[in-house]
Amino acid sequence: MDEQNFDVVVVGCGIAGLAAAVSAQEAGARVAVLERSTVEERGGNTRYTGAWMRMKSEIEISDDFEEHFAVNGGGYIDPLLLERSLVSPEQQPAILRSLSYVDPNVISTFAAEAPATIAWLKTSGLRFIPLPNAFPTAVQPRMQPSGGGLALVEALAPRFEKSGGKIFYETTARSLIQDEAGAVTGVNAVVRGNRPVQFRAGAVILGSGGFQGNAEMMTRYIGQRAVNLRAMSLGSHYNKGEGHCMALDIGAAPCGDYALWHASPMDPRTARAGSSVYIYPYGIVVNNRGRRFTDEASGSTDETYENVAREVSSQPNGIAYVIVDAKIADVPNYKLAIHTEQPAIEAASLPELAKKLGIPAIALQATVATFNKGCVPGTFNPGQMDNLSTQGVEPAKSNWARPLDTGPFRAYPIVSSIVFTFGGLKVNTRAQVINNDGDPIPGLYAAGETMGTYYGSYTGATSVLKGAVFGRIAGLDAASRRGSPSA
């Protein structure tokens, strides 16, 4: 068997893996990156994402950053355990250190290190710009690197390779190697042709994304509806969950909700990454039976799109249709909320539209008639939540409720896209993977979506930022282990 020796081995070439690799290299470590894809496709999900970040500026996170994580902290935790989380991690009982919930110390570290990580990324020539039109309505600001996620990959990967770093393309990590003391000392991998290769190192960093590219894991954890989820990008298909499996196999503690995923309402006809349709608050959403099933406007778009998309996944065949009428023209810049390159399906009447959509015309007409009857007079204000709600309609529509009565009518099909999975590995503030007994596994780190963080509702625009922050933390800490594989 071929054997390669490095100080640090990083699994994955997205933002988490690249941030880890570059930071470890800067600290003097000899670093290898294992990447399943070809060089042309390197970067996983990061390559295709807009890389939105929940920050007011390069030095300020959003006002609700830590609060949103706390609200979506992991179900109904025993209050006696939560009280004991207020002490330092070293003083916490082992059962709490390994518990599957959002560790407030990890989130505090995330928030504190975000500005410094942005400053560090700028040393690679990256620029950051505000993102004023991410959604029709939003309660929190966002910014992004100019050029999106691809800019991150194309800045960090060449920087790493030009400084002597080695990226092994078409190489897949399969299992972890441990020494007699339990420390992780390398990775068993395979290259094209299923040929085994061993990578030995003093530390391994798992930045291999989620498991949305693995049909078996998707069905095991998310269930039968997983088959109808559309991957956000081609990069998603490289994320097959080996990072999760190899760590869980040696006793790593799970964290994050394995049954949930970050969802977005995506046009299934699209050939583009992330072609979401965000105009649903200004119309209605019906399933393929012609019936409404959700409140299309319970809040601002940035806070509702994930729940709407998940509701779509529970409908027959996992598909729904956003329907608007000619009055959509009253919404300023509404086309900015339509990211698909595919045209709307248009018709002069509802029966004609139903025929084009392949849904029962009588049911659609009845649904629209009931909805229209529930709309009441009021002031329509598309730029903010206007409380123009329906009355006597189930489900209610809480804002922007106007009758659909003016042709032509337009529709967009939507399915629930899966951007990434929530379930991952428990880590501490140093990005060390924690085992089920609450102890760090020496030499093993996780960052990005391999690191479990999210429950319930995604804290929007934090995924790429999390990968960068904890990738950098992991790289620096892993580099300090050089020459001490059992430290």
Q: Same structural domain for residues 244 and 312? A: no
Q: Same structural domain for residues 18 and 153? A: yes
- The predicted model scores a pTM of 0.95
Q: Same structural domain for residues 256 and 195? A: yes
Strands 184-191 and 171-178: what pairing? antiparallel
CA quadruple 220, 223, 228, 229: dihedral, nearest 10: -70
In whole angstroms, what is the distance from residue 485 CA to residue 487 CA? 6
Query: Does residue 145 lie in a domain region?
Result: yes
- Identify the pLDDT of residue 485: 42
Range of the domain at 355: 263-417
Q: Same structural domain for residues 127 and 97? A: yes
Query: Does residue 380 lie in a domain region?
Result: yes
Q: Same structural domain for residues 256 and 373? A: no
Q: What is the DSSP letter of 451?
A: B
Identity of the residue numbered 149: G
Q: Same structural domain for residues 197 and 333? A: no
- Identify the pLDDT of residue 486: 40
Distances (CA, A) of 170 to 12, 195, 197, 414: 11, 11, 12, 33
Provide φ and ψ at 41, rounded to 5°: -110, 10
In whole angstroms, what is the distance from residue 402 CA to residue 297 CA? 12
* Residue where one domain finishes, among candidates 386, 417, 448: 417
Residue with tokens 């092994």: 168
* Residue where one domain finishes, among candidates 417, 432, 452: 417
Pair of tokens at residue 453: 């963080």
In whole angstroms, what is the distance from residue 100 CA to residue 95 CA? 10
Q: Same structural domain for residues 377 and 434? A: no
Q: Please, which residues bridge with residue 409 across strands?
A: 347
In whole angstroms, what is the distance from residue 366 CA to residue 351 CA? 11
Q: Same structural domain for residues 255 and 284? A: no
Q: What CATH number is attached to the domain comprising 180?
A: 3.50.50.60
Q: Please, which residues bridge with residue 198 across strands?
A: 3, 188
Pinpoint the alpha helices (H) of 12-138: 15-26, 65-71, 79-83, 94-97, 104-122
456 sits in the region (left: phi over 0; alpha: psi -120 to 50; else beta) called: left
Query: Does residue 169 lie in a domain region?
Result: yes
Counting the structural domains of the chain, the total is 2
Q: Same structural domain for residues 159 and 283? A: no
Residue with tokens 């990738």: 471
Query: Does residue 485 lie in a domain region?
Result: no
- Residue-wise pLDDT tens for the chain (487 aa)? 788 999 999 999 999 999 999 999 999 999 999 999 999 999 999 999 999 999 999 999 999 999 999 999 998 888 887 777 777 888 888 888 999 998 999 999 999 999 999 999 999 999 999 987 667 887 788 999 999 999 999 999 999 999 999 999 999 999 999 999 999 999 999 999 999 999 999 999 999 999 999 999 999 999 999 999 999 999 999 999 999 999 999 999 999 999 999 999 999 999 998 899 999 999 999 999 999 999 999 999 989 999 999 999 999 999 999 999 999 999 998 999 999 999 999 999 999 999 999 999 999 999 999 999 999 999 999 999 999 999 999 999 999 999 999 999 999 999 999 999 999 999 999 999 999 999 999 999 999 999 999 999 999 999 999 999 999 999 999 999 875 544 4
Pair of tokens at residue 14: 């997205």
- Identify the pLDDT of residue 134: 64
In whole angstroms, what is the distance from residue 318 CA to residue 113 CA? 39
Q: What CATH number is attached to the domain comprising 334?
A: 3.90.700.10
Q: How far is CA 313 from the centre of its chain?
A: 17
Query: Does residue 328 lie in a domain region?
Result: yes
- Identify the pLDDT of residue 86: 74
In whole angstroms, what is the distance from residue 286 CA to residue 25 CA? 52
Give which of 150, 118, 153, 209 is closest to 18, Cα–Cα: 153
In whole angstroms, what is the distance from residue 286 CA to residue 217 CA? 30
Residue with tokens 């810049």: 333
Which secondary-structure segment (H or E) carries 162? helix 148-162
* Residue where one domain finishes, among candidates 393, 417, 441: 417
Q: Are 107 and 120 in contact (CB under 8 A)?
A: no
Q: Same structural domain for residues 7 and 125? A: yes
Q: What is the DSSP letter of 474?
A: H
The distance in angstroms from the start CA to the end CA of the chain is 27
Q: 336: how many CB neighbours lie within 10 A of its CB?
A: 15
Query: Does residue 28 lie in a domain region?
Result: yes
Q: 420: how many CB neighbours lie within 10 A of its CB?
A: 24
Query: Does residue 84 lie in a domain region?
Result: yes
Q: Same structural domain for residues 171 and 193? A: yes
Coil vs helix vs strand at 203: strand
Identity of the residue numbered 30: R
Identity of the residue numbered 252: A
Q: Please, which residues bridge with residue 8 across strands?
A: 31, 203
Q: What is the DSSP letter of 167?
A: E
**DSSP class per residue in 402-465:** ----SSSEEEEEEEEEEEEES-EE-B-TT-EEEBTTS-EEEEEEE-GGGB----SS--TT-HHH
Q: Same structural domain for residues 366 and 456? A: no
Q: Please, which residues bridge with residue 451 across strands?
A: 425
In whole angstroms, what is the distance from residue 322 CA to residue 412 CA? 5
In whole angstroms, what is the distance from residue 333 CA to residue 147 CA? 22
In whole angstroms, what is the distance from residue 142 CA to residue 350 CA? 38
Query: Does residue 486 lie in a domain region?
Result: no
Distances (CA, A) of 30 to 37, 157, 331, 479: 22, 15, 54, 9
